Amino acid sequence: MTETAEKIRDHFELFREPQYEELMENKRKNFENYVGDAEVTRVADWTKTKEYQDKNFAREALVINPAKACQPLGAVFAAVGFEKTLPFVHGSQGCVAYYRSHFTRHFKEPTSCVSSSMTEDAAVFGGLNNMIDGLANAYALYKPKMIAVSTTCMAEVIGDDLNAFIKNAKEKGSVPQEFDVTYAHTPAFVGSHITGYDNTMKGIVEHFWDGKSGTVEKLERKPNESINFLGGFDGYTVGNIREIKRIFELMGVDYTIFGDNSDVWDTPADGEFRMYDGGTTLEQAANAVHAKATISMQEFCTEKTLATIADHGQEVVAFNHPVGIAGTDRFLQAVSRITGKAIPEALTKERGRLVDAIGDSSAHIHGKKFAIYGDPDLCYGLAEFILELGGEPVHILATNGNKTWEAKVQALLDSSPFGAGCKVYAGKDLWHLRSLLFTEPVDFMIGNTYGKYLERDTGTPLIRLGFPVFDRHHHHRSPVWGYQGSMNVLVKILDKIFDEMDKATNTAGKTDVSFDIIR
């Protein structure tokens, strides 16, 4: 059927037309090493067996669909949390296009980031000239107050020295000598996006507190009564940071959000383009050295940064993406202890409402089996909440988790009767999880958008929580931290449970005995 300007069909309809189906079938049989449907089915069925799982878990040199991204992505996330700060990635344009599009697809907002545009000649001769020209152009065109430099694989493999390159660029006049340029080495071939976040935050702390780049003097710490807050790499940063601000203001806490990117990824559509919006001011970043303590919501995402901060004499306290009653309790009690501020009645009531909501719905979650995947802290927080709800987090998998994380989650599982038989998998990927879902099935998965292929393949319903979420809109605007955020997570879980109940009971006269209006 020919398309016309009056009727242009969506691709869902268009590619179901006979001519397109014939084209695809011809392509499959003649150009894709076609072996026949029977052989495809035989091999596919074999990959669902315990025999295949054993082979799958024995692999060492191959990663298939890891539940992580690379370091520079986390570096960009950290950088945009500061006032008029432009992320500058020393590497190729293609890499930076990926980081920008990845964030834009999740947050549905433009993400500003520039590249030093390294190509083959830079790979041979080094990227100094790219740094000199790139910093000059970025400073002149985009007028930032600070530039945060990170690296990709190419720059790291050839050994480019960021500190020396930035000093050379300043001597050449690319930017003024006093202009703030922070840097962090973030090789994409090791670690993950949480490592890149940590390295960049550590670099920003050292820049402002230790005069690392020579732009500012090392600050003498004069302790005050404020606290610093680090959110970590968080796909819900818009909703979560605003919820944390609300909590701190209810408690009367003097605080600095160190890396506040809640506004830059939630700009209004009012006719004005905001390349930069909100963010921790550079003055706040410097004065944060005087705080009495720094609180991190993600321990495994901020290990180096917290160690650096602790070296400056501050108390550091780390949590694991606190979701639920116990996690939020610990967070609020720590804030109260450190600041001397009482937990207000308003938050106590919010806690009671969450307890009430859990009581209302616990029968529907009790005994349900879950597989959880994502970043280490997120997995811990969600597993703890599932245990509180009476569910069983049977498989907990973090590709970027380490042995320390694995032991901590195992201790959590061992502390609850609902954790019996549940297992933790550090360093495993989503192809490992696929095997587990076939050989040890669960009722639901919790994780990011990439789990939708596992949902289709294994039939395990997916509850979308984490980063990235590309195929649903605006989840990042709602918090998942605090009692209010925990309520949001509870509702997400329950909605999926009820959706699946309805799908399983909706055949009139056969299965609709439980197709209820009231749940």
- The conformation of residue 397, written as its DSSP 8-state character, comes to E
Dist CA 183 CA 366 (whole Å): 48
Residues labelled catalytic: 153, 157
Tokens matching residue 273: 């383009």
Burial 356-375 (b: 16+ CB within 10 A, else e): ebbeebeebbeebbbbbbbb
- Residue 36 phi/psi, 5-degree rounding, is 100, 150
Among 309, 301, 258, residue whose Cα is nearest residue 82? 258
Among 320, 225, 240, residue whose Cα is nearest residue 482? 240
CB 194 within 8 A of CB 233: yes
Dist CA 380 CA 397 (whole Å): 10
Contacts with 232 (C-beta within 8 Å, 6 or more apart), sequence order: 194, 197, 296, 297, 298, 301, 302, 321, 377
- Residue 408 phi/psi, 5-degree rounding, is -65, -45
Judged by DSSP in three states, 211 sits in: coil
Tokens matching residue 328: 């939020």
Dist CA 334 CA 322 (whole Å): 12
- Residue 101 phi/psi, 5-degree rounding, is -70, -35
- The conformation of residue 183, written as its DSSP 8-state character, comes to E
Contacts with 204 (C-beta within 8 Å, 6 or more apart), sequence order: 78, 82, 148, 182, 259, 285
Cis peptide bond N-terminal to 87, omega within 30: no
- The amino acid at 40: V
Dist CA 67 CA 199 (whole Å): 20
CB 384 within 8 A of CB 327: yes
